[in-house]
Structure 1
Amino acid sequence: MIKFFKKLNAGQKVFISIIFSFGLFIAYCLTSVILTFIYMPDVALHGKKIKRIFQLIHSAYDYFSLKTPYLALMAGEVKTTILSALAALFIMLIVLLLLAGLLVIAQKQRKERELHGTAKWSTINEIKSQKLMEEKGILVGLYNEKPLFFGGQEFCSLGAPTRSGKGTGIVIPNLMCWEDSLVVLDIKQECFDYTSKYRRDILGQDVFLFNPFSEYTHRYNPLLYLDFNDPKVELQIQNIANSFYISKDNDFFVGEGKSIFIAITYLFGVFYHNGYLGDDYTLTNVGGALNGINIIKNGQKEKISLELATETAYLLGWLPDTVYNLFLSFFSQKEAEKQFTGVKTAYETALKPFQNRVIKNSTSQNDFDFRDLRRRKMTIYLVINPEDLVSARPIINLFFTQLIDTNIAQGLPDQNPELKHPCLLGMDEFTSIGYMEKYEVSVSFIAGYDLRSLIIYQADSQIKNDKPLGYGEKGGSTLLQNHTCNIFYRPKETKVAEEISKRIGNITTKSYGRSFGAKSNSRSENTAAKALILPQEIMDLKMDEEIILCNNIKIKCKKANYFSTPFLIEKFKLVSSTLRNVNGNPSESDYKKAVQNNELAIQLPELKAIDDDIF
């Protein structure tokens, strides 16, 4: 016992000492009670037996004193006092054994109840423990009419079929609530039309829209993000090339086209940064480089061949050997006419969209800077019309690749005091843009850079589709696992409902049976598993209901639809006279009318036509 006590730490010793002291005190009190009953004067008892018992207890209460054991000892009643103390200890032992037995029985019954599962809907305290009721964050739903803001840095996902209200329940509400920087993939431009004015006028943010297929857009030029003072600039160019030159089965021509793209982009860059490029440094002009390069010579623009430009730059020490060798490899293929034609075609085909006049204009300069996303509060809407999605995939891929790369290059917020604001990436219709290597690779660590991901998609099967349409089974699973908070609307497929029900878990139910025999009857008890919520119940969710699974939290709650949630309605009324004049809650048609009256969106710049010569 002494050895055991020595092994305990200070806290454990104090705890045991307190419990032991408390036990001695209880034993002493019981001894006092027993002695009180022994030595108190005889009491005249009247009435029925039960009444006499209460009379006796009342009299004992009057005579009870903690001094009784001491007085008994002083009076020479040692033997009686000792026997009373032993009796008290015996009573305590019996009570302890009874408590231990009850605990064993309770534990056994608990195990029986947990045999097939103990799933349950989370309480409000459990919800708060997972940062789902913060002051701000990603708005994921309503619980007892209170907003559920998912705070912290973890990611969120919403999987729901088409026309289930993803835009009205998640995308637009978050554009109205997220107070820091935000970049949203906005298919159809609906998000911009409903929220851009609020984000500029009420939240005080700089608001931009980039639509490469429109004349009403802000501009984005990916080449102007290249830093030629960085020794890793070739890798930066390669990241751009990866967005346009996607090789299936290691296609030779695509690979060679990618190599010459890296070389030409580097060549244009050094001429541009040394003040000798006669054209803008754009993908449009890079795409036409095989026909020659315009340079500045004696203050005048002059067109020279790619070969001459390469040799000039190399002699001036502007080109590293790695880039120069890419040029030499390309030029040497001219002797094999078919091979050279194949490489030339692969190179130019990938950049063909940039020869379009509208895309040429929209990618000519930068009206916003990804490096400002965490320095100041700003919003960028990346708008792509559905009919342009296939053509836009390389541009979208490059857009998010550079966004992530430039923010990572700035460093962690703890190391750079300028980076004050987190940035939310709202990826609406996430699977419509296909596979993005940068997103798959970086999703596991960008949270540390204050970049949060909110992906909205129709079904897990879309994300797990084979590349380049999806991320594959393994990549898709990893991507989804990195999104901690998962929101589900009413599914249309039974299989999806079964998967959600399985994730939520089971409870253990009991059933009883009785059999009758000739001589005796018997009663049986059986346990079985039952889903906390059945697949059919998930299929029957109301249009305004949703399920949230976040770590070990399970919530069945309401959607935070922008047209029916009071605090969101008030936000819209701040910028729309049409909505302010509506008695009661505005209807969806009232919101559409406000959009048609241009009350919810800012005015976009119209691009002036630049040099329309197409290579």
Structure 2
Amino acid sequence: MTTQFNNAIGPQVRGVAAKSSRLIPVLAIGVLLGGLSAATQYFAHTFQYHASLGGHIGLIYPPWMILEWLLKWGEHYPHQFTHAGSVGMMVTAAGLLILLAIKTMSARTVKPNPYLHGSARWAGRKDIEAAGLMPRPSSLFEKLRGKEKRAPAGVYVGAWMDKQGRQHYLRHNGPEHILCYAPTRSGKGVGLIVPTLLSWPESTVITDLKGELWALTAGWRQKHAHNKVLRFEPAASSGSVHWNPLEEIRLGTEHEVGDVQNLATLIVDPDGRGLESHWQKSAQALLVGVILHALYKASGTHPKPSLSDIDALFADPERDITELWMEMHQVSHDSGSNHRIISATARDMMDRPDEEAGSVLSTVKSYLSLYRDPVIRENIGDSHFHIRDLMQHAHPVSLYIVTRPTDKARLRPLLRILLNMIVRLLADRMEFEKGRAKAHYRHRLLMMLDEFPSLGKLEILQESLAYLAGYGIKCYLICQDINQLRSRTGYGPDETVTSNCHIQTAFPPNRVETAEHLSKLTGQTTITKEQVTQGGKHSSRTTQEIQRSLLTVDECLRMPGPVKAVKDGQDVIEEAGDMIVYVAGFPAIYGRQPLYFQDRIFQARAEIPAPSQSDRLN
């Protein structure tokens, strides 16, 4: 007895065996219908297709007519029906013999298994529609009812070319996060970021190097998406909204100590490497006490103290630093009583030896030196908006965080504070109603973070990716390559960013490590290798299943990039390059890079001039 194995592996296990088992019964039914049809046609031919037989179309009768005629005229024409039955039986017997031969040959033939070494393949239209990146075509019933499916909404993750050469945009509107690998000057801005910002109607936070995205998208977002557009450029002497991190401290609540401790940790750990030394830990504890002291001392006044004011407390030339410790220890806080943490911080500094206290103090001053810049001091002296406005304001809010390349490194600590507070304050609570999570926000928030590993390791961002979607926050993270993401100054080899991103997109990489990662994501496939052997007058032909990557590392490195031309001293993209889109649970998509300036709608939106002044909410 031959044992039948189910060789369908992985996702192919569903439905494959069922399809093959239906073939023989279907052919058997066809053979029986063929026998009936032969008997019917022979009987009709005997009577020269007489009109009295009825039920015919031309000279063709339905196969079952022989049975109807047998009931009506069986007693009158027994010989004719016997001859017709013999013809039908012979045709049926011949068909069954052929079917038996096919079944026997099929059982003896060893068929190649297309899934033996892997079942990876490139996605087709149905796969893309199932992944939610393209709308399914409307059925006739939906069209008749006037319920045709609308064009997809959401962020742009790429484009796809069908067999007719037509380009289809790939968009994702779900709550899941997106990670993009895009080397410098690969076209990620014109292909993904700008189209998304020229179509996303809700709130967004954008890291904007050099202010290009503000110039191209802020005009449309303000005039047609009805967003309040905010340009936060800390190193600009004019045109920037103000934002004071200390105004986000929830003073007088159960959160005040946690808020201040998180802020102090970010100040003394500007690269996200953790509090590694005794001096950093001591400086963090000192900052917590001094910030709380300054906030309570200025309680009820406006504006609240800023980080520049905190630095001034440590570097006040008018008094000795020990006077600050005495003030913190003796002045009443918090409804007339000494705040325990403030008093303990002052006592701790007074008990330290002079040399150790001086070292702790100098450590704190070194981390606060950024805020001595008069331009930065002006821009963080008060707040024109609050973080909760991003999702709770009456209108959607677009916050552009603009930094010049020359200021990027020194402004990193301040930008880390802003992004950290956005995550912590907007994802702090969740409400439920009737057994389901209830939206407690007015607007969804898209965090479009370009080259986010360059900001250092934001532990809160990595940890919160697993649950941010439940709070209405969608992250669109962009890095140069896998090395930048997993570097020592980034998120390390054990990063969890990739595992928490539902979609990963990639432009042609420059690094082998990135190409290896992309090749593994596409998976392994099985191909059939045919070999012909010549031996004298005879030749033999053999086939063999072998394994290969759907996209090898070499092929990945040689993916066609955008075609550029130099105009006015700058390289301009003239023709789009290829890209790959990976959606968890679906075949990889070999796509095409979209270009906003080749779309007349996007081009018209980008031409809307950006506002000369940033909006203010407070």
Name the TM-score class by shorter chain: 0.7 to 0.9
Tell me if the contact between 2:204 and 2:448 (Cα under 8 Å) persists in the aligned partners. Answer: yes
Aligned counterpart in structure 2 of residue 241 of structure 1, from 242, 258, 264:
264
The residue aligned with 2:153 is 136
Q: Check 1:252–1:506 CA distance in 2 against 1; reply closer, same or farther (3 A cut).
A: closer
Which structure 2 residue ranges, 5 or more long, are not aligned? 1-24, 50-57, 135-150, 161-165, 563-575
The residue aligned with 1:123 is 124
Tell me if the contact between 2:268 and 2:367 (Cα under 8 Å) persists in the aligned partners. Answer: yes
The residue aligned with 2:348 is 329
The residue aligned with 1:109 is 111
Between the aligned partners of 1:513 and 1:366, the Cα distance in structure 2 is: 74
Paired residue secondary structure (1:122)? coil
1:548 and 2:553 equivalent?
Answer: no
Which letter does structure 2 place at the counterpart of 1:109?
K
Between the aligned partners of 1:59 and 1:164, the Cα distance in structure 2 is: 66
Aligned counterpart in structure 1 of residue 295 of structure 2, from 262, 269, 275:
269
Deviations 1:428-462 (A, max 9, x none): 12122111111111111101111111111111111
Q: Check 1:23–1:365 CA distance in 2 against 1; reply closer, same or farther (3 A cut).
A: same
The residue aligned with 2:304 is 280
Q: Check 1:98–1:482 CA distance in 2 against 1; reply closer, same or farther (3 A cut).
A: farther
Which letter does structure 2 place at the counterpart of 1:547?
I
Percent identical across equivalent pairs? 19
Q: Check 1:338–1:74 CA distance in 2 against 1; reply closer, same or farther (3 A cut).
A: farther
Q: Check 1:31–1:139 CA distance in 2 against 1; reply closer, same or farther (3 A cut).
A: closer
Quote the offset at 1:131 in angstroms: 1.5
Which letter does structure 2 place at the counterpart of 1:115?
L
Deviations 1:547-571 (A, max 9, x none): 2122223222322222222321122
Between the aligned partners of 2:60 and 2:133, the Cα distance in structure 1 is: 58
Which letter does structure 2 place at the counterpart of 1:324?
S
The residue aligned with 1:256 is 282
1:393 and 2:403 equivalent?
Answer: no
Q: Check 1:412–1:211 CA distance in 2 against 1; reply closer, same or farther (3 A cut).
A: farther
Aligned counterpart in structure 2 of residue 289 of structure 1, from 288, 293, 313:
313
Q: Check 1:41–1:553 CA distance in 2 against 1; reply closer, same or farther (3 A cut).
A: closer
1:439 and 2:461 equivalent?
Answer: yes
Between the aligned partners of 1:325 and 1:569, the Cα distance in structure 2 is: 60
Tell me if the contact between 1:267 and 1:310 (Cα under 8 Å) persists in the aligned partners. Answer: no
Tell me if the contact between 1:159 and 1:458 (Cα under 8 Å) persists in the aligned partners. Answer: yes
The residue aligned with 1:176 is 198
Between the aligned partners of 2:44 and 2:583, the Cα distance in structure 1 is: 65
The residue aligned with 2:443 is 421
1:225 and 2:244 equivalent?
Answer: no
Tell me if the contact between 1:185 and 1:382 (Cα under 8 Å) persists in the aligned partners. Answer: yes
Tell me if the contact between 2:519 and 2:551 (Cα under 8 Å) persists in the aligned partners. Answer: yes
Quote the offset at 1:118 in angstroms: 3.5
Tell me if the contact between 2:453 and 2:491 (Cα under 8 Å) persists in the aligned partners. Answer: no
Quote the offset at 1:93 in angstroms: 7.2
Quote the offset at 1:312 in angstroms: 1.9
Deviations 1:528-584 (A, max 9, x none): 3344445444424140122212222322232222222232112224x2xxxxxxxxx
Which letter does structure 2 place at the counterpart of 1:509?
I
Quote the offset at 1:226 in angstroms: 1.2
Deviations 1:32-81 (A, max 9, x none): 66876898896799xxxxxxxxxxx969879943335656998999xx99
Deviations 1:251-284 (A, max 9, x none): 11111110011111122222233x3x69732111
Between the aligned partners of 1:62 and 1:173, the Cα distance in structure 2 is: 61
Tell me if the contact between 2:41 and 2:61 (Cα under 8 Å) persists in the aligned partners. Answer: yes
Between the aligned partners of 2:314 and 2:46, the Cα distance in structure 1 is: 121
Paired residue secondary structure (1:409)? coil
Quote the offset at 1:146 in angstroms: 2.8
The residue aligned with 1:473 is 493
Paired residue secondary structure (2:362)? helix
1:340 and 2:357 equivalent?
Answer: yes
Quote the offset at 1:114 in angstroms: 2.5
State the number of aligned residues: 533
- Map 1:387-536; keep pairs closer than 5 Å: 387-409=406-428, 411=430, 419-466=441-488, 469-475=489-495, 478-517=496-535, 521-536=539-554
Which letter does structure 2 place at the counterpart of 1:241?
A
More helix by share: 1
Quote the offset at 1:187 in angstroms: 1.5
Which letter does structure 1 place at the counterpart of 2:580?
I
The residue aligned with 1:354 is 371
Q: Check 1:521–1:244 CA distance in 2 against 1; reply closer, same or farther (3 A cut).
A: same
The residue aligned with 2:5 is none
Between the aligned partners of 1:60 and 1:384, the Cα distance in structure 2 is: 82
Tell me if the contact between 1:374 and 1:420 (Cα under 8 Å) persists in the aligned partners. Answer: yes
Between the aligned partners of 1:272 and 1:425, the Cα distance in structure 2 is: 33
TM-score by length of structure 1 reads: 0.75
Between the aligned partners of 1:605 and 1:248, the Cα distance in structure 2 is: 36
Which letter does structure 2 place at the counterpart of 1:553?
P
Q: Check 1:127–1:25 CA distance in 2 against 1; reply closer, same or farther (3 A cut).
A: closer
Which letter does structure 2 place at the counterpart of 1:284?
S
TM-score by length of structure 2 reads: 0.75
Between the aligned partners of 2:27 and 2:547, the Cα distance in structure 1 is: 44
Between the aligned partners of 2:44 and 2:293, the Cα distance in structure 1 is: 110
Which letter does structure 2 place at the counterpart of 1:188?
K
The residue aligned with 1:187 is 209
Between the aligned partners of 1:495 and 1:411, the Cα distance in structure 2 is: 39
Between the aligned partners of 1:207 and 1:38, the Cα distance in structure 2 is: 84
The residue aligned with 1:199 is 221
Tell me if the contact between 2:229 and 2:614 (Cα under 8 Å) persists in the aligned partners. Answer: no
Between the aligned partners of 1:419 and 1:162, the Cα distance in structure 2 is: 35
Deviations 1:476-499 (A, max 9, x none): xx1022222222112223453344
Between the aligned partners of 1:401 and 1:61, the Cα distance in structure 2 is: 76
Tell me if the contact between 1:487 and 1:549 (Cα under 8 Å) persists in the aligned partners. Answer: yes
Paired residue secondary structure (1:370)? coil
Quote the offset at 1:374 in angstroms: 1.9
Paired residue secondary structure (1:288)? helix
Tell me if the contact between 2:453 and 2:479 (Cα under 8 Å) persists in the aligned partners. Answer: yes
Tell me if the contact between 2:121 and 2:587 (Cα under 8 Å) persists in the aligned partners. Answer: no
Quote the offset at 1:515 in angstroms: 2.9
Paired residue secondary structure (1:214)? coil
Deviations 1:399-419 (A, max 9, x none): 011111111135359766661
Aligned counterpart in structure 1 of residue 591 of structure 2, from 557, 561, 564:
557
Paired residue secondary structure (2:597)? coil
Tell me if the contact between 1:35 and 1:69 (Cα under 8 Å) persists in the aligned partners. Answer: no
- Map 1:140-155; keep pairs closer than 5 Å: 140-143=157-160, 144-155=166-177
Between the aligned partners of 1:103 and 1:271, the Cα distance in structure 2 is: 89
Tell me if the contact between 1:36 and 1:68 (Cα under 8 Å) persists in the aligned partners. Answer: no
Deviations 1:192-246 (A, max 9, x none): 1222122112212111111221222101111111112421321111111121122
Tell me if the contact between 1:463 and 1:472 (Cα under 8 Å) persists in the aligned partners. Answer: yes
Deviations 1:81-132 (A, max 9, x none): 99999999988976876786688689x6361x33333433222221121111
Which letter does structure 1 place at the counterpart of 2:373?
N
Structure 1 window deviating more from structure 2 (423-432 vs 511-520): it is 511-520
